[in-house]
Structure 1
Amino acid sequence: MKRMLSAAAALVLLSGAAVAQTTVTTTTGTADTVEIAPEQRTVIKKYVTEQRAKPVKLKERVTVGSTVPADIEFQQLPSTIVSSNPRLKGYSYFSSDSGTYIVDPGSRRVITTID
């Protein structure tokens, strides 16, 4: 009887481990993310610096995927940057003291940051 209980307990433990190993987590975030190569980041950073736009004062921390407050105005990314990375078409940007943020202007979500 002890053997049967031990075997049953072992099966329960093993089946739990098997379930845990086969669980798949799917992320369905509402914000897109766009990979930007280091050299493209340099071009964007240089462009933003040359534009001398006044940095936005952020009241809270902004991260990729977060929604930007309605009082922040965006600038359109120039065609020279979009032509080198077509995935950036339709996106805008803004700068703050902590970096430059690429955003989806429709949803106001941050898709990537450039330090």
Structure 2
Amino acid sequence: MTGLLRTTLFATLLAASAAAQTGSTPVETPPVPLSPEKQAVVKQHVQRAKPPDAQTDGPVTVGMTVPESVELWSLPQDSVTEVPSVTSYKFLMKGKTIAVVDPESRKVVQIIPN
């Protein structure tokens, strides 16, 4: 019985250790850029919607974090149907630049020149 108890305890500890290791390491997925066709749809949407210019310090660049005070706008539905992982992306306008932003991290993932 002691051998069985020891084996069960070891298996339980091993499983708990593996679960803890798996749960503590977040997996970051790279951003999925919009295709040229989808970028064209976004540009058309921006021309029609005319969102206000974002108030940021300096130019908008890929990788920068957008301040909470800057309003993000939803991408047009046509631009997000092909790749499900970009459905949550939003955008902002800065001058003639369209910046695609991950709203959770508020990081710019793509720049679309307008």
In structure 1, distance between residues paired with 2:29 and 2:84: 17
Which residue among 56, 60, 63 is the counterpart of 2:54?
56
Over 3 Å off, 4+ runs:
none
Instruction: Indicate yes or no: 2:42 matched with 1:44.
Output: yes
Tell me which amino acid in the other structure corresponds to 2:81. S
Q: CA contact under 8 A between 1:102 and 1:113: conserved in structure 2?
A: yes
Q: Give the gaps of 5 or more residues in structure 1.
A: 1-29
Pairs aligned (count)? 86
Deviation at 1:75, TM superposition (A): 0.9
Q: Give the gaps of 5 or more residues in structure 2.
A: 1-27
- What TM-score, normalized by structure 2, do the two folds share? 0.65
For 1:88, the equivalent position in structure 2 comes to 86
Q: For residues 41-99 of structure 1, what are the alpha-carbon distances to aligned partners after superposition, in whole Å with 9 as ceiling and x for unaligned? A: 11111111110111113212321111011210001123222113333111111111040
**Percent identity at matched positions?**
30
Q: For residues 15-45 of structure 1, what are the alpha-carbon distances to aligned partners after superposition, in whole Å with 9 as ceiling and x for unaligned? A: xxxxxxxxxxxxxxx6833222222211111
In structure 2, distance between residues paired with 1:32 and 1:74: 20
Matches within 5 A, 1:1-115: 32-115=30-113
The Cα RMSD (Å) is 1.9
- What TM-score, normalized by structure 1, do the two folds share? 0.65
